[in-house]
Chains A and B, each alone.
Chain A
Amino acid sequence: MNGGRRDGEGFVRNVLARTSGSPCGRAETLLPDLTDGVLADLDRQLVQAHLEHCGPCRALAVAMGWASPVLPQLAVVDPGEAFTAAVLGRTSRRQRLELASPSARPGGLAGLMDRVGRWWTERILVPGFAPRVAYVATVVLVLLTSVPGAPLRGVPGAALQLMTAGPAALPGTAGASRWLDAQAAQGQAVVAGQWDGVAADLQARGARSAPAREQIAAHAAAAWRNLEDRRLSEAGMEGLGALDASRRAWTLWWNDKEQTTGE
Chain B
Amino acid sequence: MDQAQLLQRCQAGDELAWEVLVRTHQGRVCAIAWHYLGDQDEALDLAQDIFVRVYRSLDTCTDPARFEHWLLRIVRNGCIDRLRRRKARPPRQDIPADEMTSLASQAADPEQQWLSTSRQKLVHVALQRLSEINREIIVLKDIQGLPLEQIATMLDLPLGTVKSRSSRARVELARAIVELEGGPAPAGPPPVGGFGAEAAS
Is this pair of chains taken from one and the same complex?
yes
Q: Which chain A residues have a beta carbon within 8 Å of chain B's beta carbons?
A: 3, 6-7, 9-11, 13-14, 17, 21-22, 24-25, 28-29, 31-33, 35, 54-57, 59-61, 63-64, 66-68, 70-79, 83-84, 86-88, 90-91, 93, 95-97, 99-100, 127-128
A64 touching B119, Cβ below 8 Å: no
Residues of B within 8 A of A70 (CB): 117, 119-120, 123
B143 touching A67, Cβ below 8 Å: no
Residue B174 at the chain A interface, CB threshold 8 Å: yes
A88 touching B190, Cβ below 8 Å: no
B31 touching A67, Cβ below 8 Å: no
Residues of B within 8 A of A13 (CB): 190-193
Cα A9 to Cα B31 with chains together (Å): 45
Residues of A within 8 A of B123 (CB): 67, 70-71, 74
- Given A72-B145, A76-B28, A91-B55, residue A31 in contact with residue B198 (CB < 8 A): no
Quote the shortest CB–CB distance from B194 to chain A (angstroms): 6
Contacts A/B (CB < 8 Å), 24 sampled = A7-B199, A14-B193, A24-B190, A25-B189, A32-B170, A32-B171, A33-B167, A35-B170, A56-B185, A60-B186, A64-B170, A68-B142, A68-B170, A70-B120, A75-B144, A84-B19, A86-B48, A87-B22, A87-B48, A90-B51, A91-B18, A95-B55, A96-B58, A97-B13
7 nearest A-B residue pairs (beta carbon): A22-B189, A127-B88, A56-B186, A76-B27, A10-B198, A64-B174, A63-B177
B59 touching A93, Cβ below 8 Å: no
Residues of A within 8 A of B48 (CB): 83, 86-87, 90
Residues of B within 8 A of A100 (CB): 13, 59
A9 touching B119, Cβ below 8 Å: no
Residues of A within 8 A of B30 (CB): 77, 79, 83
When C-beta atoms are compared, the residue in chain A nearest to B59 turns out to be A100
Cα A131 to Cα B126 with chains together (Å): 35
Quote the shortest CB–CB distance from A157 to chain B (angstroms): 37
Residues of B within 8 A of A57 (CB): 186
A74 touching B119, Cβ below 8 Å: no
A127 touching B84, Cβ below 8 Å: yes
Knowing that A56-B185, A71-B143 touch, tell me 15 more A-B residue pairs with CB under 8 angstroms: A3-B199, A6-B199, A7-B195, A35-B170, A56-B184, A56-B190, A64-B173, A67-B126, A67-B177, A76-B28, A76-B31, A83-B44, A84-B22, A88-B18, A96-B56
Residues of B within 8 A of A86 (CB): 48
- Given A9-B198, A71-B143, A79-B26, residue A87 in contact with residue B52 (CB < 8 A): yes
Residues of A within 8 A of B28 (CB): 75-76
Name B's interface SS: helix
B35 touching A90, Cβ below 8 Å: no
Cα A91 to Cα B15 with chains together (Å): 9
Quote the shortest CB–CB distance from B51 to chain A (angstroms): 5
Residues of A within 8 A of B84 (CB): 127
Residues of B within 8 A of A77 (CB): 27, 30-31, 34, 114
- Given A75-B143, A79-B26, A127-B85, residue A63 in contact with residue B181 (CB < 8 A): yes
Residues of A within 8 A of B170 (CB): 31-32, 35, 64, 68
Cα A100 to Cα B58 with chains together (Å): 10
Residue B175 at the chain A interface, CB threshold 8 Å: yes
Quote the shortest CB–CB distance from A177 to chain B (angstroms): 49
Cα A31 to Cα B186 with chains together (Å): 13
Residues of B within 8 A of A76 (CB): 27-28, 31
Residue B188 at the chain A interface, CB threshold 8 Å: yes
Residues of A within 8 A of B189 (CB): 21-22, 24-25
**Residue of B124, B138, B185, B193 with most chain A CB atoms under a 10 A cut-off:** B193
**Residue of A64, A67, A100 with most chain B CB atoms under a 10 A cut-off:** A67
Cα A88 to Cα B23 with chains together (Å): 10
Residue B162 at the chain A interface, CB threshold 8 Å: no
Chain B window 21-57, contacts with chain A (Cβ cutoff 8 Å), 1 for yes, 0 for no:
0110011101100110000000010011001100110
B13 touching A93, Cβ below 8 Å: yes
A88 touching B19, Cβ below 8 Å: yes
A91 touching B52, Cβ below 8 Å: yes
Chain B window 109-125, contacts with chain A (Cβ cutoff 8 Å), 1 for yes, 0 for no:
00001110101100110
